[in-house]
Amino acid sequence: MRISFLLHNAYGIGGTIRTTFTLARTLAERHEVEIVSVFRHRDEPTLGAPPGVTMRHLVDLRKHSSGYDGDHPDYRRPAKVFPRGDGRWKQYSKLTDDRIAAHLRGLEADVVVGTRPGLNVHIARQTRRGPVRVAQEHLTLDSHGYRLRREIGHRYPLLDAVTTVTEADARSYRTRLKLSGVTIAAVPNSVPAPSVPPADATAKWVVAAGRLTSVKRYDLLIEAFAKVVAARPDWRLRVYGSGDATGNEKSALRALIEERGLHNHVFLMGPANPLEPEWVKGSIAAVTSRLESFGMTIVEAMRCGLPVVSTDCPHGPREIIEDGVDGRLVPNGDADAVADALLALIQDDELRRRTGQAALAAAERFDPARIAERHAALFAELLERGEHGRSRSRARDALHRVRGSLLDGLYALRYRAADQLRKRKAAGKRAKGKGKRV
């Protein structure tokens, strides 16, 4: 098969990039695979180009490059195809609309895979019949705002399949959206086998990892660890991850550590890449998130032989951890429950060792080869369906496109009306500030 992935920016850092690279690299062992990056801002991918995969880009933002597009007049004009509801909308433009459309019109692939909602909308609207059209959801339907969910509901019926990373999110797509004829499948992210030996369960360290953002609830973990230290002062906690852009979350966590007298027990380590050598320095992993669309750090820790104590938050942890077997699931937002689960593993060396071994074995189901095979099987099924007549006819495709064009006009009128209202209000405030009546 010829498989083409469409990615926002393959030259940055992020979970979607890492997951796409791993999947593409594994599929490339048996198939012809390319990654097309909408943007390119540096010469080489930060994560390293996946071997065996062709890399292309559509908009060049390298100022030293002869193909630099930052001065193109259409680069400053707002996007009309890329949906406003997607959080990256401001980075897109008429130039990206045109470049993506031209790419999709000339695409010579059996399967085209979008990796975020805005790009999936492009694929639905601008890819004519030919390649199988697949939308990957790396977050969750619930995490999108109303405007984007509405756009998804209108555009995704033109796709062949939507893949989610959890069965819970797949159920949301099946029950809340009218995507008749579109295959909706749950295929989890993959995590490669570690390049280091697994943890031996003897180190007196708990390890957590992820960006220092409020959704990760590291404040809850610190509160829980204060109770752990009261019972077992010989144990310590390391938290790996970069802070947010403002640095406010990191400052707040440092203040909480000092307030609880944990400066000798809780350490904010900053980012680490690769993280595997840091996981295996610990004996237990902790995840206290309020929400996890999947839970990559859970799988990473398990692949390193660590049992994971996690909040039972939506959506991923419950589909990864078997409570009491290879880790623990505790009520969301309950610091005491987190502390009790950690202490149960800390106080029982044999339980900790046995649970870590179970985690190591259970995590093999997320091996890239297994996950790539599931994607390949889905693609092959969709291709076969196309060869024998797709479930959606040309007439139905055309009907959806006409409906979409009518909706485009309606949305454009709404946006113009909203912009005019904002301008009138702003003018009124300015006039009021000058002591004039409007």
Is residue 209 within 8 A of residue 274, CB to CB? The reply is no
| Superfamily grouping for domain 205-366 | Glycogen Phosphorylase B; (3.40.50.2000)
For position 386, what pLDDT does the model report? 78
What is the CATH number that goes with domain 2-190+371-392? 3.40.50.2000
Using one digit for the tens of pLDDT, what is the confidence trace for 58-86?
Answer: 999 999 999 999 999 999 999 999 999 99
Domain ranges of the chain: 2-190+371-392, 205-366
Model pTM score: 0.85
Is residue 249 within 8 A of residue 212, CB to CB? The reply is yes
Asked whether residue 402 carries a pLDDT value surpassing 60, the answer given is no
For position 437, what pLDDT does the model report? 46
The region of weakest confidence among 11-15, 32-36, 171-175 is 11-15
Asked whether residue 242 carries a pLDDT value surpassing 90, the answer given is no
For the chain, the maximum distance between any two Cα atoms, rounded to a whole number of angstroms, is 78
Using one digit for the tens of pLDDT, what is the confidence trace for 98-145?
Answer: 999 999 999 999 999 999 999 999 999 988 778 999 999 999 999 999
Asked whether residue 312 carries a pLDDT value surpassing 80, the answer given is yes
Calculate mean pLDDT across residues 386-403: 54
**Going along 178-332, which residue ranges are E strands?**
183-186, 205-209, 236-240, 266-270, 284-287, 308-311, 327-330
Average pLDDT over the chain, rounded to whole? 91
| Fold matches, 2-190+371-392 and 205-366 | yes
Calculate mean pLDDT across residues 220-226: 98
Q: Where are the alpha helices (DSSP H) in 138-217?
A: 146-155, 167-176
**Nearest alpha-carbon partner for 283 in 336, 350, 335:** 350
Token pair for 88: 């990256």
What element of type H or E holds 295? none
